[in-house]
Amino acid sequence: MRIVLVGPPGAGKGTQAAYLAKNLAIPHISTGDLFRANISQGTPLGQKAQEYMRAGQLVPDEVTIGMAKDRMEQADAADGFLLDGFPRNLAQAEALDGILKADGLKLDAVLDLEVPEDEVVKRIAGRRICRKESSHVFHAIYNPPKTEGVCDACGGELYQREDDSEETVRKRLEVYHSETEPIIDYYKAQGLVVTISALGKVAEVTQRAMAALDRD
């Protein structure tokens, strides 16, 4: 299957993508991984991306599209893939259609993870990270530490990242609504969108997604 995963920040796309890709036996292709791989390997696209990033500028669509195209053409993606974070806007969605069409291929589904905006804010703004060990992550509501502000594992101070503040989360949601949400309508016109609720436990959302894709 060839699937695009969409949803607002905080919907759990990365977590669900990993489980779904494993269940479907297809590679999980995320924008973050594409950038890290190309930059660490020093590819021409990675070098271009790094130039823009160092200058504090957005990486142009053509660079991201090029990275995604190269990855989709690798052997392990011959029978399908799950795209996470790409396409991010209409220009990228149209480019993806063109890439697939050139090879006589098409998407099988666009899985839309639906989460109420207030829940998104609650999920992200409640996150607390340990200053000593960043892999120690807690949540003020869903996974609170035994002692407020103190990491259960190592005693380090827990803090809220600037990116996780409510103000920043709401700005990220504005960007999602203006840039990414339009691709849902674009794919709905093609009859590809499958919408599921991303509320509940991780395993429940995965089961919901697998059932929806199977029906599709």
Catalytic residues: 13, 88, 127, 161, 172
Burial per residue of 147-160, b for 16 or more beta-carbon CB atoms within 10 angstroms, e otherwise: eeeebeeeebebee
DSSP states of the chain as a string?
-EEEEE--TTS-HHHHHHHHHHHHT--EEEHHHHHHHHHHHT-HHHHHHHHHHHTT-PPPHHHHHHHHHHHHTSGGGTT-EEEES---SHHHHHHHHHHHHHTT----EEEEEE--HHHHHHHHHTEEEESS-TT-EEETTTB--SBTTB-TTT-PBEE--GGGSHHHHHHHHHHIIIIITHHHHHHHTTT-EEEEE--S-HHHHHHHHHHHHHH-
- Contact, 29 vs 135, CB < 8 A? no
Q: How many CB atoms lie within 10 A of CB 173?
A: 18
